[in-house]
Amino acid sequence: MAGVYGFVAEFNPFHNGHKIFIDTIKNKYHPDVLIAVVSGNYVQRGDFAIVDKWSRTRMAIANGVDLVVELPFAYAVQPANLFAKGSIKLLNELGIDNLIFGTETDMDFVNLAKQMLKTNTEFEQDYSMSYADNLNFVYSSTGLDVLQHPNQLLGLSYAQEVIKNNYSMSIDTILRSNNEYSATKVRNYINDSANINKLVPDITMHELSAVKKVNWNDYFDLLKYRILSSSPDELHQIYQMVEGLEYKFIKEISNSDNFSDFLMNIKSKRYTLARLKRLCLYTLLNVKQVDIDEVFDSPYLRILGFDDVGQKYLNELKQSCETSLITRVGKKESKLLSLEVKVDRIRALADGQEQDFGKIPIMEGEN
Is the model's pLDDT at 148 over the cut of 80?
no
Amino acid at position 169, single letter? M
Residue 87 pLDDT level (bands cut at 50, 70, 90): very high
Per-residue pLDDT tens digits for 6-23:
999 999 999 999 999 999
The Cα–Cα gap between 266 and 248 comes to: 7
Is the model's pLDDT at 139 over the cut of 70?
no
> Could you tell me the CATH number of the domain that includes residue 16?
3.40.50.620
Average pLDDT of the chain? 91
pLDDT at 218: 95
In this structure, the answer to whether residues 18 and 114 fall within a common structural domain is: yes
In this structure, the answer to whether residues 198 and 302 fall within a common structural domain is: yes
In this structure, the answer to whether residues 109 and 221 fall within a common structural domain is: no
Percent of the chain at pLDDT exceeding 70: 89
- Full domain range(s) for residue 194: 4-213+295-363
**β 300-306/324-326 pair status:** parallel
pLDDT at 126: 47
Is the model's pLDDT at 122 over the cut of 60?
no
Other CB atoms within a 10 A radius of the CB of residue 243 amount to 10
pLDDT at 136: 63
pTM of the predicted structure, to 2 decimals: 0.93
Q: How many domains does the chain have?
A: 2
Residue 272 pLDDT level (bands cut at 50, 70, 90): confident
Which are the contacts of 149, defined by CB distance < 8 A and separation ≥ 6?
103, 104, 105
In this structure, the answer to whether residues 308 and 355 fall within a common structural domain is: yes
- What's the whole-number mean pLDDT along residues 212-239? 96
Which are the contacts of 176, defined by CB distance < 8 A and separation ≥ 6?
17, 102, 103, 104
Residue 124 pLDDT level (bands cut at 50, 70, 90): low
Q: Reduced to 3 states, what is the DSSP secondary structure of residue 254?
A: coil
pLDDT at 192: 82
